Amino acid sequence: IGIINLKGYLVWSLMDNFEWVEGYSKRFGLIRVDYETQERMWKKSSLWFRDVIAKNGFDFQS
């Protein structure tokens, strides 16, 4: 694979939230929300994104 000139990455939502068409059934956030207890839980995607920010990039091979 050649060099990819990636300029940015868009996160849909920080936390799971209400979607107008899907309601609470789809979970797009980096942080999972338990709607009954309001507990927040880090998803694997949020940990990956944290590392991308800390390193100012990511290793495409891993």
- Chain segment 32-44, per-residue pLDDT in tens: 999 999 999 999 9
- What are the start-end ranges of the H helices in 2-62? 44-55
29 pLDDT higher than 80:
yes
Q: Looking at per-residue confidence, does 8 or 31 come out higher?
A: 31
- Alpha-carbon distance of 48 to 59, in angstroms, equals 11
Sorted by where each begins, the domain ranges of the chain are 13-55
pLDDT recorded at residue 46: 94
Q: What percent of the chain is modeled with pLDDT above 90?
A: 37
pLDDT recorded at residue 30: 94
CB 30 within 8 A of CB 46: yes
pLDDT recorded at residue 1: 56
- Alpha-carbon distance of 55 to 52, in angstroms, equals 5
